[in-house]
Amino acid sequence: MTSSSSDNSRPPLVALVGNPNTGKTSVFNALCGTRQQVGNYPGVTVEKKTGSFDWDGQTIQVVDLPGLYSLNPLSPDEQVATDGILAHAPGMPTPDLLIFVADSTNLKRNLLLYSQIADTQKPVIAVITMMDLLDGEGVQIDIDQLGHCLNIPMAVLTKGDAKQVQQLKNIIGDALDQPPIPTVCLAFEPAIGSMLDDLQHMFPQISRFDARALLFGSQNVRVGDPMLGAMQQKVQALREQADSSNLTPAALVTQRYQWAEAIVQRVEKRSEKALTFSRKLDRILTHRFFGLIIFAAVMFLMFQSIYTWAVPFMDLIETGISTLSDVVGSSLAARPLLASIMVDGMIAGVGSVIVFLPQIVILFLFVAVLEDSGYLSRAAFLMDKLLGWTGLNGRAFIPMLSSFACAVPGIMAARVMPDPKARMATILVSPLMSCSARLPVYILLISAFIEPRFGASWAAVTLFAMHGIGLLIALPIAWILNKGILKTPDMPFILELPVYRLPNWTNVVFRAYEAGKKFTVRAGTVIFAFSIIIWALSYFPRPDHIADDIRAQAQSQDALLIDQQIAGAYLEQSYLGTAGKAIQPIFGPLGFDWKITVGILGAFPAREVILSTLGIIYQIGEADEESDDLKQRMAAESWPDGSQVFTPLVAIVLMIFFALCSQCMSTLITVQRELNSWKWAGFLFTYMTALAYLLSLVTYQGGKALGLG
């Protein structure tokens, strides 16, 4: 894939280019069908869609470049697309042909980009989409006339028309044999032309496009060798000349639009129609009252579905995992070490992560539908002001809200944010939202220590507060990250509100599938490795005499009880247990004893693990948030001086700690993958742990000073 276009051994490559939402992906799907893959461009998280089709006995490769509005890129998406067009894209050969995809309902703005592409003098053909929507908009377009004006081969493609697809393939095949170089029919002021001529005359190695970029300030000048002194001088002189004749970059855009306007006047008839269905719908969906209500309802539905629809599938996975554990455990009963490494290490570790798969798939189905239908940009419109002051924008809302169900899909959903720094800030605050894995911890502590003393209402208030605290803290943290650490540039929030459309179901399913696949692969690799490490720390060393001593001293004949005591004793003297005891003084000021400390350490892979760890330490076997045994044992725990360990204050402090800390291996690894950096994953862990510690400390010490606890 790194050969150049002159290399005859590689199949020809065509690239789809165009404004966002023009139907590029639909054209791509029509051409390639299932012969497609999704990858990433090296170094950025921009999706790279490639595929191929056969024409006349040869294979033609297709790449679907991200949508862009102009060759002066503002986002990583646009940068990749621009680089792809100008043939600077890393890991991608120069396309042999560009396929310009234009939305017929929005011709004028589409032609602006076309005029910039034509300036590059690369071979290009055009595909006109959305022809079926023209009637509704009251527009007529003369396609032949348009082809005539642009003087390049042109195809139309309306969804699902097989004949049109074949025609398009023919046009592509023919164009590859005879590259149609767009004649620059832009009637720019002769002044610009002569300045470009002037520069190109002195430096013939510069292309027309680069000459224009040099003089009119595009960010995409890559002339090859560093600018020669003489060239620099000449460019400077010509720029001054341009400025004095009022030929600024903005004036150039105006000229391009004048060219587009002239074409539109010749090919398009527009009658003022009554409001289209889409615009009527939008009146309601962006209404300052009903819009918000509907938005809340949509978000509630999404949240609810991640929470509840996923449950049967998650139960199924959990049942599968525990069956697998049982089978493996009993068939390896003769080899306890191997059984433990498989069951408590690998299966439990990967299982605790894989159970999130249904949530991820459901969330991505939702996000894909919201995005494809055009609603996502309305949601961003409604929410922008709320998030704007933090340096984020309305688009951050979806990842943050999703994180209330689970941070892993939430972090992945941050891909909807085009600006890399704002996206990074969103990723770094999303795990503060109270995810569903914190719920078992809250429920155990609330039902054991809050509800019995203060009643059901206070229990509900506590639960609500635990969900609010993350959000309340996330916004100022986002502000600090954006303004202080990442120095996120103040990006303009210029967002197209595309016409509402029925989503493309192939796209929707494909995206959910891709998200699920990526996640599963991750669970099978890095998370697998981490699980074994944590398991080893809680298993070794394992001197035989401990079990022997307990058996020898055992008063009861209850084998189960003895096994529980042995498990507890082994955990206590394991590396993890020793570490817990050693660092307990750090957690002492928060009111935590060494058992809670071990619980916190053991919960590094996943928060809810604290329940089973406490279960082992308190020697009650299998524990979950419903176990009355565990609650009683916890309530009975006392310090050496006889005072209770779990006062309501300590319960609250522990909940605050879990609300804010970053006890989730899946989250950290997802962050590492999405940002391609262990450093930021480490930063996330550090800042969240520090925050959790500080707030817990303040709460505990404050509470004690007020005489609570």
Ligand X SMILES: Nc1nc2c(ncn2[C@@H]2O[C@H](COP(=O)(O)OP(=O)(O)O)[C@@H](O)[C@H]2O)c(=O)[nH]1
> What is the C-alpha separation between 470 and 404, in angstroms, rounded?
9
Cβ atoms of 574 and 538 within 8 Å: the answer is: yes
E strand residue ranges, 224-357: 268-270
- Asked if residue 541 has a cis previous peptide bond (ω within 30° of 0), the answer is yes
Nearer to another protein, 292 or 456 (CB): 292
Nearer to ligand X, 19 or 218 (CB): 19
Nearer to ligand X, 78 or 372 (CB): 372
Q: Which helix (H) or strand (E) holds 423?
A: helix 420-429
Which candidate, 428, 362, 425, 418, places its Cα nearest to that of 390? 425
Which candidate, 118, 249, 268, places its Cα nearest to that of 192? 249
Nearer to ligand X, 29 or 565 (CB): 29
State which of residues 60, 65, 133, 620 lies at the interface with ligand X (CB under 6 A).
Answer: 133
State which of residues 24, 169, 378, 631 lies at the interface with ligand X (CB under 6 A).
Answer: 24
> What is the C-alpha separation between 157 and 133, in angstroms, rounded?
12
From another protein, ligand X, none, interface partner of 381 (C-beta below 5 to 8 A by class): another protein
Nearer to ligand X, 40 or 331 (CB): 40
Among 24-32, 248-256, 310-318, 356-364, which window interacts with ligand X (CB under 6 A)? 24-32
Its sign, for the CA torsion 206, 207, 210, 211, is: positive
Q: What residues contact residue 167 under an 8 Å CB cut-off, 6+ apart?
A: 155
> What is the C-alpha separation between 597 and 614, in angstroms, rounded?
10
The least CB distance from residue 238 to another protein, in Å, is 19
First to last CA, the chain: 66
Nearer to ligand X, 81 or 692 (CB): 81
Residue 663 as a binder of ligand X (CB under 6 A): the answer is no
Residue 315 as a binder of ligand X (CB under 6 A): the answer is no
Cα angle: 299, vertex 303, 306; to 5 degrees:
140
Q: Going by DSSP bridges, is the β-strand pair 58-64/124-129 parallel, antiparallel, or unpaired? A: unpaired
Task: Say how many C-beta atoms besides its own lie within 10 A of residue 646's C-beta.
Answer: 21
By CB under 6 A, the residues from 61 to 80 that bind ligand X are 67
Residue 129 as a binder of ligand X (CB under 6 A): the answer is yes
From another protein, ligand X, none, interface partner of 511 (C-beta below 5 to 8 A by class): none
Binding site for another protein (CB under 8 A): 69-70, 72, 74, 105-106, 108-109, 112, 137, 248-250, 253-254, 257, 270, 279, 282, 286-289, 291-292, 377, 380-382, 384-386, 388, 394, 490, 492-498
The least CB distance from residue 350 to ligand X, in Å, is 34
State which of residues 123, 147, 249, 503 lies at the interface with ligand X (CB under 6 A).
Answer: 503
The least CB distance from residue 45 to ligand X, in Å, is 17
Residue 372 as a binder of ligand X (CB under 6 A): the answer is yes
> What is the C-alpha separation between 347 and 12, in angstroms, rounded?
46
Nearer to ligand X, 158 or 220 (CB): 158
From another protein, ligand X, none, interface partner of 105 (C-beta below 5 to 8 A by class): another protein
Query: Exposed, middle or buried, 402 (CB in 10 Å: 0-12/13-18/19+)?
Result: buried
Binding mask 472-501 toward ligand X (x if CB under 6 A, else -) reads: -----------------------------x
Cβ atoms of 535 and 340 within 8 Å: the answer is: yes
List of residues contacting ligand X (CB under 6 A): 20-26, 67, 129-130, 132-133, 158-159, 372, 501, 503-504, 507
